[in-house]
């Protein structure tokens, strides 16, 4: 697309969603928050877009109308980095291993279309392990249960178009440290963490 005087180059942070399916296979999807669409676009889609300019290891640049380049202050613009989703039929043992290996306290549970159906948390795992221990002894949970058996529902989630201020208010009031973010179809785009707000404040100065 030929450059236009009213255009501006924007750099968009990439988000990586890693999903572990029931067979423990991983699929990865890399996306950005498109300022034109106001929602998620895959990096593959962007590379074919006439506005695409360049790409680095964790960001993508494109040329958009200057008025569109101004951040709208929505949750989708805050997301970055990698998040992990678990298939509901994944056994609990490998599910817990994902939390432990990546040092995360919670992971969204998704269906075959990556639509949010619940959340696995360290608290929920502890609770389920205690209940199972009373029936069969400690250590039996991981061999008898799937992630969907121990997930928490319903789950607080944010639309990617929700204002950042509103998301911060809800997380503060409810004491939430991580909340899944979904697109217009309910598909998980990433997980908003408390430190995303800290980075936002630091970069806003």
Residue 45 or 82: the one with the smaller Cβ distance to ligand SF4 is 45
Neighbour-count burial for 168-186, b at 16+ CB within 10 Å, e otherwise? beebeeeeeebbbbbbeee
62 binds ligand SF4 (CB under 6 A): yes
64 binds ligand SF4 (CB under 6 A): yes
Q: Please report, as residue ranges, which positions from 19 to 38 form the binding site for ligand SF4 (by CB under 6 A).
A: 32, 34, 36-37
Listed as own residue / partner, the contacts of 125-133 with beta carbons closer than 8 Å and 24 or more positions apart are: 125/92, 125/96, 125/99, 125/150, 128/92
59 binds ligand SF4 (CB under 6 A): no
Residue 55 or 87: the one with the smaller Cβ distance to ligand SF4 is 55
**How many residues of this chain bind ligand SF4 (CB under 6 A)?**
13
Residue 39 or 94: the one with the smaller Cβ distance to ligand SF4 is 39
Q: How many other CB atoms sit within 10 Å of the CB of residue 196? A: 22
191 binds ligand SF4 (CB under 6 A): no
Chain mean position to CA 85: 8
Q: How many other CB atoms sit within 10 Å of the CB of residue 31? A: 25
49 binds ligand SF4 (CB under 6 A): yes
Which residue in 74, 75, 73, 55 sits closest to 10, CA to CA?
Answer: 55
Helix axes 194-204, 164-174, angle to 10 degrees: 140
| Part in contact with ligand SF4 (CB under 6 A); list of ranges 45-53, 72-80, 113-121, 175-183 | 45-53
Residue 77 or 87: the one with the smaller Cβ distance to ligand SF4 is 77
7 binds ligand SF4 (CB under 6 A): no
69 binds ligand SF4 (CB under 6 A): no
- Rounded Cα gap, residues 33 and 72, in angstroms: 11
Interface contacts to ligand SF4, rule CB under 6 A: 12, 32, 34, 36-37, 41, 45-46, 49, 51-52, 62, 64
């Amino acid at each position: 697309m030929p450059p236009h005087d009213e255009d501006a180059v924007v750099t968009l942070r990439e988000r990586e969603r890693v999903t572990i399916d029931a067979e423990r296979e991983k699929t990865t999807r890399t996306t950005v928050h498109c300022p034109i669409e106001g929602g998620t676009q895959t990096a593959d889609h962007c590379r074919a877009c006439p506005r695409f300019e360049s790409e680095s290891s964790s960001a993508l640049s494109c040329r958009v109308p200057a008025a569109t380049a101004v951040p709208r202050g929505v949750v989708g613009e805050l997301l970055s980095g990698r998040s992990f989703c678990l298939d509901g039929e994944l056994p609990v043992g490998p599910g817990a291993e994902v939390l432990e290996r990546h040092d995360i306290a919670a992971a969204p549970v998704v269906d075959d279309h990556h639509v949010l159906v619940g959340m696995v948390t360290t608290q929920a795992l502890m609770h389920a392990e205690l209940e199972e221990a009373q029936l069969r002894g400690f250590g039996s949970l991981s061999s008898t249960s799937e992630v969907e058996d121990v997930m928490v529902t319903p789950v607080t989630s944010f639309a990617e178009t929700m204002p950042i201020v509103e998301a911060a208010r809800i997380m503060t009031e409810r004491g939430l440290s991580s909340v899944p973010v979904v697109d217009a179809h309910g598909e998980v785009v990433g997980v908003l963490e408390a430190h995303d707000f800290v980075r936002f404040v630091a970069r806003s100065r």
